[in-house]
Amino acid sequence: MSEQAPSEKERRPQHHSNRSDKERRPPKTFVEWVSRTLRITLSKKHHVHILIAVWITTATLFYRAWNGWPWSRSFYHSVQAGLSIGFGLYEENDKVSRLFTCGHVLFGTAIAGSALVFLVESAADRIALRIGSSASCTADVSATRFPMQRSTGVFFLLLAVLLTGFTFAVLHEKKDPITALYFAITALSTGGLMAPADHAVSLWFTGAWCIIGVPVFGYALGQLAEQFLVVRVESAVRQSSVRVWSNADFDAADALMTRDGRIDWGEFLELELITSGTVDPDVLRRLKKRFRELDLDGDGHLTRDEIVRSHTASKRSSAGRSGSGSGGGGSNSTSGGGARQRSAQQRMLNV
């Protein structure tokens, strides 16, 4: 079969138009709205800073104007309530104030909290890059060690934040070392078991310290859990690489593709990935189904001509569905799925 080079029009990326179509479609659920807002917000770092500043400033101004609290108390309460720490130093008796706090907490949990973690991850990456650049290793080794360097960076951040809170509690709050450590850890873990002193300096410090330390603490725990998971997966892969195959393994691998009494590299790799728990079998089944859809002549191989023909057919099918259902809401979801498919195929063409 002769391979046909794709035309310039078929090679042209369609990402911008597809993305604009999705963004113009109104969200159908609250989860979709949160997901879209978070994706747009986190696309640029200065948007994240603006979001957090607006979130805290709005709550501070509200508590100041509605409850008549001092600026230090309003700022402190906006942070400790928004991050769900719950020190319990102050109580809101007004129903309007309580209703506002409910929305403040929900917004912080859904969007602002993720934005804070994004900033922590960026800071950890910068520290990791510094660690990697100071080490005498090749580029390939640095790339493989980067996840560990990121974990090291975030734990450096966590240690610095804990020491800052510990030092403040000892020097300013006059706490003994054990109580100061108790205050620092329970505050950053959002336990809120010990409130700061009812003093302007303590309130300003605790608010600023928590808005930095709480996401650092949460991200560090996530990195620790990720390292445990990586170790577990690597252990499973090592055990799989040294295990002895049985007749049952041979039959299972042979049945994955074609029962021809031989195991090729694809069948071997697929069974090893499933056995080690590295890949979900359902994911592999979907990938094989997708491969068969692209393999138009069914010979077990993909050619450029088949990719181009499949891409063209997908565009025509998507255009037909959009035209026939332009008045209904169902066509939007179909067009979105076709857009994702066309984007994936376009990336394959550009390789």
| Residue 304 falls inside a structural domain | no
| Residue 62 falls inside a structural domain | yes
| Residue 95 falls inside a structural domain | yes
* Cα–Cα distance measured from residue 343 to residue 351, given in angstroms and rounded to the nearest whole number: 13
Which residue range is the domain that position 96 belongs to? Answer: 42-137+154-242
Tell me the CB-side half-sphere exposure of residue 81, using CA atoms within 13 A: 27
- Asked whether the predicted pLDDT for residue 241 surpasses 70, the reply is no
* Conformational region of residue 181, where left means phi above 0, alpha means psi within -120 to 50, and beta covers everything else: alpha
| Residue 194 falls inside a structural domain | yes
- Asked whether the predicted pLDDT for residue 344 surpasses 50, the reply is no
| Residue 36 falls inside a structural domain | no
Cα–Cα separations (whole angstroms), residue 122 to 92, 127, 157, 224, 235:
36, 9, 12, 17, 29
User: Between residues 116 and 65, which one has the greater pLDDT?
Assistant: 65
The reported pLDDT for the residue numbered 3 is: 46
Within a 10 A sphere around the Cβ of 40, how many other Cβ atoms?
A: 11
pTM flag (> 0.85): no
- CATH code of the domain covering residue 55: 1.10.287.70
Say which residue the tokens 């090291």 belong to: 152
- Asked whether the predicted pLDDT for residue 8 surpasses 50, the reply is no
The reported pLDDT for the residue numbered 286 is: 86
The reported pLDDT for the residue numbered 293 is: 85
- Asked whether the predicted pLDDT for residue 294 surpasses 80, the reply is yes
The reported pLDDT for the residue numbered 161 is: 94
| Residue 223 falls inside a structural domain | yes
- Asked whether the predicted pLDDT for residue 229 surpasses 90, the reply is no
* Cα–Cα distance measured from residue 264 to residue 271, given in angstroms and rounded to the nearest whole number: 11
| Residue 20 falls inside a structural domain | no
* Cα–Cα distance measured from residue 217 to residue 340, given in angstroms and rounded to the nearest whole number: 36
Per-residue model confidence as pLDDT tens digits over 295-326: 888 887 888 888 888 878 877 776 666 555 54
Per-residue model confidence as pLDDT tens digits over 77-130: 999 999 889 888 888 989 999 999 999 998 887 766 666 666 666 666 665 565
- Asked whether the predicted pLDDT for residue 159 surpasses 90, the reply is yes
**Contact (Cβ atoms closer than 8 angstroms) between residue 187 and residue 165:** yes
- Asked whether the predicted pLDDT for residue 53 surpasses 70, the reply is yes
Provide the 8-state DSSP code for 42.
T
Nearest one of 301, 304, 279, 281 to 292, comparing CA atoms? 301
Per-residue model confidence as pLDDT tens digits over 170-202: 999 999 999 999 999 999 999 999 999 999 999
Say which residue the tokens 């906006």 belong to: 78
* Cα–Cα distance measured from residue 17 to residue 96, given in angstroms and rounded to the nearest whole number: 44
The reported pLDDT for the residue numbered 335 is: 44
Top mean-pLDDT range of 48-52, 70-74, 89-93 = 70-74
* Cα–Cα distance measured from residue 347 to residue 163, given in angstroms and rounded to the nearest whole number: 48
* Cα–Cα distance measured from residue 104 to residue 82, given in angstroms and rounded to the nearest whole number: 6
* Cα–Cα distance measured from residue 216 to residue 123, given in angstroms and rounded to the nearest whole number: 10
Structural domain total, the chain = 1
Per-residue model confidence as pLDDT tens digits over 244-267: 677 777 777 777 666 777 777 777
- Amino acid (1-letter code) at residue 225: A
**pLDDT tier, 16 (very low <50, low <70, confident <90, very high otherwise):** very low
- Asked whether the predicted pLDDT for residue 36 surpasses 80, the reply is no
| Residue 301 falls inside a structural domain | no
- Asked whether the predicted pLDDT for residue 150 surpasses 80, the reply is no
Measured in whole angstroms, the distance separating CA 263 from the mean position of its chain's CA atoms is: 38
Measured in whole angstroms, the distance separating CA 193 from the mean position of its chain's CA atoms is: 30
pLDDT averaged over every residue in the chain: 74
